[in-house]
Amino acid sequence: MTSQAAATAIPDVQGSPDDRHIAIDKVGVKDVKHPFKLRTPEGGEIATVATISMYVSLPHHQKGTHMSRFMEVLGQHKDALRPDEVGAIAQEIRERLGACEAHLEIRFPYFITKHAPVTGAVGLLDCEAGFEVTATPTGVEMSMSVRAPATSLCPCSKEISARGAHNQRCDIEAQVWTTESIWIEELVEILESVASCPVYPVLKRADEKFVTEAAFDNPKFVEDTVRDLAMRLDKDDRIFKYRITSENYESIHNHNAYAEIAREKGN
């Protein structure tokens, strides 16, 4: 039997009709590991490993999507992916699968060199960054996300306590849609600026004293954090839409505190 005859003999179950008439918003493959490379503000490059999820919309009349085609498109990029390539990949996936929409969700660890505030001790701070891409017949929409750790000190605890105040580590995240590129490092600095105090990978005793007192002098509720961040992003003309969150890993409760703001400027 020839390869063409063999291919003809194998039924395309995914492409068969479906009589339930229910469209699916996203279907595809999730959490694929792939090398990723980004430029740095200093002109160098940083290599990391991205976790990539790829989806398409599925019309109501089609039973399934062809999962192997996602991996075939990604497999054509044997070297590390770059941010300026992901839009074209999303469009290629959409076209290969004959879909109205294709979606890429990319997350990766990103390391930033940080110096302790007093001694200057050097370490690497791990953040999480990523991109979300939607491809349609009219074009590509892309956003960047950055999540950074920080310190939050409770204003209520400081106000009512005779000694000290409870504080905790928090994660602050911003997903931004922009008219031009923004460095991950730049967005991390913005996120840290709205917390009670940044966190550092290496702290000597003089540094620990500094950050403890800095947080005590700058108490923030989770609500304060996202409102202050919204004010910072509202002033940045490069950003026209954002979704921001802060999650405090409470030190005196067995639950977390959370706040979120989503806004498109001009609306």
What is the Cα–Cα distance from 134 to 114, expressed in whole angstroms? 34
Q: Which of 12, 94, 11, 104 is nearest to 58 (CA)?
A: 94
Q: CB neighbours of 8 closer than 8 A, spacing ≥ 6?
A: none
What is the Cα–Cα distance from 263 to 10, expressed in whole angstroms? 49
Angle at the Cα of 179 (from 175 to 180), degrees rounded to 5? 90
User: What residues does each domain of the chain span?
Assistant: 19-264
pLDDT tens digits, one per residue of 43-92: 999 999 999 999 999 999 889 899 999 999 999 987 899 999 999 999 99
What pLDDT score was predicted for residue 20? 86
pLDDT tens digits, one per residue of 205-250: 999 999 999 999 999 999 999 999 999 999 999 999 999 999 999 9
What pLDDT score was predicted for residue 10? 78
Residue 1 has pLDDT above 50, yes or no: no
pLDDT tens digits, one per residue of 90-139: 999 999 999 999 999 999 999 999 999 999 999 999 999 999 999 999 99
Residue 160 has pLDDT above 80, yes or no: yes
The CATH superfamily label for domain 19-264 reads Urate Oxidase; (3.10.270.10)
Contact 222, 152 (CB under 8 A): yes
3-state SS class at 151: strand
Residue matched to tokens 């491809």? 135
Residue 12 has pLDDT above 80, yes or no: no
Beta bridge partners of 47: 37
What pLDDT score was predicted for residue 241? 98
What pLDDT score was predicted for residue 15? 67
Q: Which of 112, 262, 87, 124 is nearest to 188 (CA)?
A: 112
Query: What is the model's pTM?
Result: 0.90
What is the Cα–Cα distance from 87 to 68, expressed in whole angstroms? 20
Q: CB neighbours of 168 closer than 8 A, spacing ≥ 6?
A: 151, 152, 248, 249, 250, 251
